[in-house]
Amino acid sequence: MNHCITRTAAVVLGLSVASTVRAQSAVDWSVLERARTIVAKPTSTAISADDLRSRLYAYAADSMRGRELGDIGNVKATAYLASELKRMGLEPAGDNGTYLQLVKIVERPFDETSVVRVGDQAFEGWKDYVWRYAGAGQRSIDGAPTLYGGVWGDPAKMISRDAVAGKVVIVTARPDEMGSGMAGLPMRGQVAAYFQKAAAVMVIGREKIPEASIAGYKEEIQGGLIEEQPAPTAGYIYINSAMARAVFGADPSTLAPGTAGRSFTGNIRYTERSIAQPAYNVVGILRGSDATLRNEYVAIGAHNDHVGIDHGPPVAHDSTYVVNHLFREQGADAPEPQMTRADAERVNLLLAEIRKKTNGASARIDSVYNGADDDGSGSMSVLEMAEYFAGQRTKPKRSMLFIWHVGEEQGLWGSEYFTDHPTVPRESIVAELNMDMVGRGEASDVTGTTKDGTLIRGNPAHLQLVGSRRLSTELGDWAEKVNKDKKHNLAFDYSLDADGHPQNIYCRSDHYSYARYGIPIIFFTTGGHADYHQLTDEPQYIQYDHMTKVASYVRDLAVDVANAPFRPKLDKPKPDPKGACQQ
């Protein structure tokens, strides 16, 4: 699932900052004794835990290098998917008779020669401000009017979104704001969506970003699709207090929202270059059995990428695992943990006990974001379904379109490209079923929060549905009916589908690229956990029986949609395909 990456440091004694988080549930530390490799077994046409385990241990192995877009590991992952589709005998639906659709992506790294001034005072990139890529159509800030937007998260102290059109808006955040995963900084997607008409959004808080995160931002692929006419977008920049004072001549916290400031001269620019390795969507078709309906498609998708390798100093795997599971239960959806000396001592005692049981093996050095759950679990579930359908003598009436999108982690690039340049007629896709992070959801996992911030925990039947009735009430009803009639007995949780939910899940995975064109979607996920976007998201921690149950359910729903006499009825307004998404 799309999100920024934050890194948990190794544990040491002597930390003195007051702890803000405490463990809420018992953790089974014996999982750290599990084997990291298995002997793979040949897969069969039945959807099984053994098949999913065999596939995922290979797909999320260290040798895949975290499958980051632009890295050879992602190329290896897409080659594996294509070879499996060929072995199964599915029809290729990529470019030129292949299973691969080339997604035209370039890198747009920060231009280190950029100069930004307020009057005679110059400001330096990465030191004074941190630029976050906002698209090829990023608007100019040179000479644009500036104003103070107020305090994000406090509606009474915010200007309206329409008041910032064409201007640089500078905002602060409440100290307890944690939407970005860092305390005191808001969730970038929400702020950008609210101020989408601005020339740029500047968030005061550069000082709150750890240097390890800055290093990660420099390494990230800041880029996107090659576009002839990119949509205008607001730049997004974190600035320090000195820049804010230079603009307003005062501490912004003393100002009224809407206060005008001095304009910037110069621009924050990027350069453009080709990515190191090609980016591919992987697409295959299982042709339907009905002479007419076979020209329509039920799309079943996942994303084939993850976030790669941490290029900073390696860390001890067990240390990261223990800290996150005690003090950072939502992984990257929670801020960096801050621990007391007593917390650190508790962790070190646990580590000593664990390392004794594992004969030191748990302390291995780690630097690979394997992405077993995100989204190895979804990718392998879709592949397992493809093999199931390929092995059936009687095919569904409509065709099945199996697709693995690239670049989801960078900003839904692969699904955006496919839906803008579909290899089947776009209007022939009757629904898209998206699977992203479907391998966890146990009782010890915090799988998200309700809109009011209450933690949600998993259970043996846990499955979250997002967007199931946002375009088609009928599709949402079918989802419930299949669960009941086929006796899957899954416990659906719709908490994260609430309008205005701060986690904005509806906009954060590939299904939205289809929904923006009016294609009914359902996003299936077992939710977050302490290993989300962490080095500890590895295959030995996946709940394979639960994953099998979810894959079997989505298969049955896909059959139901594929065999229905009519496509799911669209009874809700269509989004603007080029507009910003806000749940």
What whole-number distance in Å separates Cα of residue 94 and Cα of residue 90? 12
Residue 71: predicted pLDDT = 96
Tally of helices (H runs) and strands (E runs) in the chain: 13, 24
Backbone angles phi and psi of 172, in degrees to 5: -110, 175
Contact 108, 270 (CB under 8 A): yes
Match 């954060």 to its residue by tokens: 508
Give CA–CA dist 158/64, Å, rounded. 45
Give pLDDT tens digits along the chain (583 positions): 886 444 444 443 333 333 334 444 578 999 999 999 999 899 999 999 999 999 999 999 999 999 999 999 999 999 999 999 999 999 999 999 999 999 999 999 999 999 999 999 999 999 999 999 888 899 999 999 999 999 998 889 999 999 999 999 999 998 888 766 688 899 898 899 899 999 999 999 999 999 888 988 887 777 888 877 888 999 999 999 999 999 999 999 899 999 999 999 999 999 999 999 999 999 999 999 999 999 999 999 999 999 999 988 899 999 999 999 999 999 999 888 889 999 999 999 999 999 999 999 999 999 999 999 999 999 999 999 999 999 999 999 999 999 999 999 999 999 999 999 999 999 999 999 999 999 999 999 999 999 999 999 999 999 999 999 999 999 999 999 999 999 999 999 999 999 999 889 999 999 999 999 999 999 999 999 999 999 999 999 999 999 999 999 999 999 999 999 999 999 999 999 988 888 9
pLDDT, tens only, 75-120 = 999 999 999 999 999 999 999 999 999 999 999 999 999 999 999 9
Chain centroid to CA 317:
22
CB-side neighbour CA atoms (13 Å) of 120: 0
Report the topology of domain 116-273.
Answer: Glucose Oxidase; domain 1 (3.50.30)
For residues 457 and 177, what is the distance between their CA atoms, to the nearest angstrom?
22
Instruction: Check residue 179 and give its pLDDT.
Output: 66
What SS3 class is residue 268?
coil
What is the pLDDT, as a whole number, of residue 38?
Answer: 95
Q: What is the pLDDT of residue 25?
A: 53
Q: Any idea what DSSP says for residue 510?
A: T
Q: Would you call 262 exposed, middle or buried from its count of C-beta atoms within 10 A (0-12, 13-18, 19+)?
A: middle
**Cα angle vertex 321, ends 318, 327, to 5°?**
135
Q: CA 456, 459, 464, 469: dihedral to nearest 10 degrees? A: -100
Is the domain covering 41-103+279-312+367-563 a CATH 3.40.50.620 domain?
Answer: no
Task: Output the pLDDT for position 21.
Answer: 40
pLDDT at 482: 98
Report the relative pairing of strands 200-204 and 100-102 from DSSP bridges. Answer: unpaired
pTM across the whole model: 0.86
Q: Do domains 41-103+279-312+367-563 and 116-273 have the same CATH topology?
A: no
Locate tokens 């089947």: which residue? 424
Distance between CA atoms of residues 60 and 72, nearest Å = 14
Cα separation, 316 vs 287, in Å, equals 48
Handedness of CA 521, 524, 529, 531 (dihedral sign): negative
In single-letter form, the type of residue at position 21 comes to V
**241-274 pLDDT, tens per residue?**
999 999 999 999 899 999 999 999 999 999 999 9
Contact indicator for 381, 554 with CB cutoff of 8 Å: yes
Contact criterion met (CB below 8 Å) for 224 and 411: yes
Instruction: Determine contact, residues 100/303, Cβ cutoff 8 Å.
Output: no
Which residues does 119 contact at the CB level (< 8 Å), separation at least 6?
A: 246, 262
Q: C-alpha angle 309/315/320, rounded to 5°?
A: 100
Tell me the C-alpha distance between 371 and 529, whole Å.
12
60: helix, strand or coil: coil
State how far the Cα of 177 lies from the Cα of 251, in Å rounded to an integer: 20
Question: Token pair for residue 78?
Answer: 């897409």
Domain residue limits, the chain: 10-39+315-327+339-358, 41-103+279-312+367-563, 116-273
For residue 32, CA distances in Å to 7, 55, 360 come to 20, 21, 11
Residue 19: per-residue pLDDT: 36
Q: In the prediction, which pLDDT does 285 show?
A: 98
Query: How distant, in Å, are the alpha carbons of 301, 389, 398, 431, 485 from that of 289?
Result: 21, 12, 7, 18, 24
Q: Provide the CB-side half-sphere exposure for 226 (13 A, CA).
A: 10
